[in-house]
Amino acid sequence: MRGWLVRSNHVTRALSLVSIGAMSVLGCGGGAAEPVQQTTAGAEVETPRATFSGTWSGERFDAQWVALGWQWPGGWTVFLSDRPPNEGDVGLPVEATYVELRFGDTAQPVATEAGQTMSPYVTVAPNADGSTTPYEGEATSMVQLTDVSMTGSYDPSASTPQTVGTATLELDATFGADASHAAGSLRGRGTIPIVFLGAPHVACRDAQPPPTDYTWAEAPNLRQAPSTPLHGNVRGRAFTPASIFFERRTTNGEEEWALIASTETNIGFPGVEHETLTVRFDRAPRRGRTTRAMASGGGYFQACVGLGTTSWNADNAYALEITRWQVSRCTPGEGSAPAHLGTASGRIIVTYRGFEEAQNSWVAGTFTNVPIVTPSCE
């Protein structure tokens, strides 16, 4: 995999993070420097310091800021930058050149095996005139992440970044030459902080055990539908929607209908902070039963993976029964709220076929007098 120019949106500030002065170039396995005392909010805390140095594009490269941080998208990522974040800025300075090593979307970072090979991603600072010459050479690295210790958890009432632990990183990376950059390397070993660079998604912070009152089936049958309000087992964790509604939209003159169930309380577009099931219909819903065989398309699930959501587009099937469908005159919504068309009641089973690390998933149960909405009455 090639490294490439990425101007990211990491939410970072120089708060209890690694800030390193001038260093000598180290071979892989060099020792970490002694911890230094840093003061945050009037209290003395120990912030680990580590040494990662080498060459980049024919010049010396000293990693001035190193941390294992959670971000979305990307999950747990090690950042090695030639300068630290500016206080209060969003992301690293535009003048920064930095390397990212992405370790996955688990709820907590995990240790790796010795000698794991990874493809580092490189963000190259703009030239003096503002133009960019993105790195397009081959980049590889041998990485080991050990001694992962989470000493805290994310605090929704505090600002980010938040330091919640430490880990030991050992790195030996090489960057091949391309049309604009000479070959280079980055090596070192040391203890680095674990930080939240941004807030975990609201729906994903506290995973609850999945329900077991429905057994997954490729062809859902309403006789097996739970008689309780809509809920589910999505990728091995409980899904409990806070809002359920039918939505009508018009795209290029074509009417489109969907049933939406989301952990977002407000009716409308839920956004990626929330888990959301979207079931699309080929025609306007009406009283009676409708089924869809297991196949691709038919909607999607914005589902939690670790601490953030992802758009899950696996094969899915559903069985739907609408027992009450009452539509009246369109009533405009207040502010940015959608317009109201009526209400509906019924029950549904939606099953998603798992693949690779994703488990078979389902959402099933009843809904009563849920809104039927449209963006506007116009």
Of the listed ranges 51-65, 79-93, 241-255, 354-368, the one predicted with least confidence: 79-93
Question: pLDDT grade, residue 287 (50/70/90)?
Answer: very high
What tokens does 336 get? 């940015």
Q: Are residues 273 and 319 in the same domain?
A: yes
Q: Are residues 177 and 224 in the same domain?
A: no
Q: Are residues 157 and 54 in the same domain?
A: yes
Tell me which of 178, 199, 220 is where a domain ends: 199
Q: What is the pLDDT of residue 88?
A: 56
What tokens does 299 get? 């909607």
Q: What is the pLDDT of residue 90?
A: 53
Residue 10, domain member (yes or no): no
How far apart (Å, rounded) are the C-alpha atoms in residues 216 and 235?
Answer: 12
Q: Are residues 43 and 164 in the same domain?
A: yes
Q: Are residues 115 and 131 in the same domain?
A: yes
Render pLDDT for 97-144 as a digit per residue (tens, 0 to 9).
Answer: 999 999 988 889 999 988 899 999 999 999 888 888 899 999 999 999
Residue 190, domain member (yes or no): yes
Domain count, the chain: 2
Tell me which of 183, 199, 215 is where a domain ends: 199
Q: Are residues 153 and 287 in the same domain?
A: no
Average pLDDT over residues 161-189: 94
Q: Are residues 178 and 90 in the same domain?
A: yes
In terms of residue numbers, what domain contains 247?
A: 204-374
Q: What is the pLDDT of residue 24?
A: 29
How far apart (Å, rounded) are the C-alpha atoms in residues 241 and 230?
Answer: 7
How far apart (Å, rounded) are the C-alpha atoms in residues 27 and 167?
Answer: 20
* Strand 50-56 versus strand 59-62 pairing type: antiparallel
Q: Are residues 194 and 211 in the same domain?
A: no
Q: Are residues 156 and 140 in the same domain?
A: yes
Residue 195, domain member (yes or no): yes
What tokens does 162 get? 């938040």
Q: Are residues 295 and 338 in the same domain?
A: yes
Write the CA distances from 283 to 41, 195, 377, integer angstroms: 58, 47, 20
Question: Is residue 10's pLDDT more than 70?
Answer: no
What tokens does 319 get? 């069985």
How far apart (Å, rounded) are the C-alpha atoms in residues 357 and 113?
Answer: 19
Q: Are residues 111 and 251 in the same domain?
A: no
Start-to-end Cα distance in the chain? 49
Count of beta carbons in the 10 Å neighbourhood of residue 296: 9
Q: Are residues 41 and 105 in the same domain?
A: yes
Identify whether the C-beta of residue 66 lies closer than 8 Å to the C-beta of residue 79.
yes
Radius of gyration of the chain (CA): 25
Tell me which of 173, 199, 225 is where a domain ends: 199
